[in-house]
Amino acid sequence: MASEINEIYSKISEFLSRGPALTIDIAGYIRKDTTQTSAILDYYVSRGSLNRIERRYGTSAIYYFKEDREKALDKLFQTLNSNEKNLINRVKSAKVIKSEDLSPTERYLSKSLTDFIKSVSAKDSETEEKIDYLYYSELTLDEVKAAINPPTAQRLPVAREKNTKQRETQQSRVAKKAGTIDSSSPETKNMLLSYGFSDASMIEKDIYLCDYGPSRLKVIVIFSNKNSLTDKDFIKFAGYAESYKTVSFVITASQKIGDYSKYGNVINIIKIN
């Protein structure tokens, strides 16, 4: 039995020595079905002998030796859509960027790009304010800390979108007055497009089923005119998402928004100032 296991690992090593590979390709080489192969590969990942990309390449995982991580990421990168690639390139260029400087759509995308983009919370050394940051995965935590809170007096701001003010101005135009959103107006429809939503179809008043992004994922988009959003509202929003087996985006000018973190990616708030 031990000799058979050693032989299988030897074959896997031989195959991966050529570069990162998919489960299905490795399965063909070692003459096992994909279920057996996945179990074998994951065993060796748990022992630290192999590495695996978190995001799937279609229905297969990508396995690689530690020294081939960059090649594995390149292989995965080629499968991503243009919005995902642009976000990764921007974070890679900036190294560290404030989460608040990304649009809700970009923050949502980043959650499925953890092979490239990591998140961390830290206190600003000057203001003591807790801030969420995204950083390129190849950086060490020491490098991230240095970028967030440089030790010298010549403190540079973490990379910020040049068009942030312009985007905020565009968003503010869609509210005819504070706390009010007209979900039927052309301006709001333009805003939907700016966030990557298209082909909206009304489910009921102020609630739409839309295509999202280049992959045209079906998502729920909800317009809320309430002055505050509470857990009762979040339960309702999550309910729509559950009914359609997707996630919900809530576009709102609410002044008070409760804690919805327990709903994870199911609820995404797009705040209009």
Strands (E), the chain: 21-22, 51-52, 62-64, 96-98, 117-123, 130-136, 197-204, 207-212, 217-224, 228-229, 248-252, 256-257, 267-271
Region 141-163: mean pLDDT is: 62
Helices 23-30 & 34-46, crossing angle to 10 degrees?
100
Query: Cβ atoms within 10 A of the Cβ of 253, count?
Result: 22
pLDDT digits (tens, 9 = 90+) for 210-236: 988 766 788 999 999 888 999 899 989
Q: What strands, in cross-sheet order, belong to the sheet with 248-252?
A: 197-204, 207-212, 217-224, 248-252, 267-271
- Return the pLDDT at 206: 86
Burial 3-41 (b: 16+ CB within 10 A, else e): eeeeebbeebeebbeeebbbbbebbeebebebeebbebb
Distance CA 61, CA 213 (A): 23
Residue 114's Cα: distance from chain center in Å?
7
Is domain 2-69 in CATH 1.10.10.10, yes or no?
A: yes
Domain residue extents for the chain: 2-69, 82-148, 164-271
- Return the pLDDT at 56: 83
pLDDT digits (tens, 9 = 90+) for 15-46: 999 999 999 999 999 999 988 999 999 999 99
pLDDT at 2 over 90: no
- Return the pLDDT at 135: 93
Element (H, E) at 74: helix 69-77
**Residue 53 CA: distances (Å) to CA of 87, 155, 191:** 18, 35, 35
140: DSSP letter: -
pLDDT at 59 over 90: no
pLDDT digits (tens, 9 = 90+) for 5-15: 778 999 999 99
- Return the pLDDT at 184: 60
pTM higher than 0.85, yes or no?
A: no
Beta bridge partners of 229: 257
| Contact criterion met (CB below 8 Å) for 159 and 134 | no
pLDDT digits (tens, 9 = 90+) for 169-190: 444 443 333 344 555 667 767 7
Joined tokens for residue 117: 């983009």
Joined tokens for residue 265: 């990616």
Give DSSP secondary structure letters for 28-55. Answer: HHHT--HHHHHHHHHHHHHTTSSEE-SS
Q: Assign a CATH topology to domain 164-271.
A: 3.40.1340
- Return the pLDDT at 161: 45
Beta bridge partners of 223: 251
- Return the pLDDT at 1: 52
Higher pLDDT, 161 or 61: 61
Joined tokens for residue 53: 């990309």
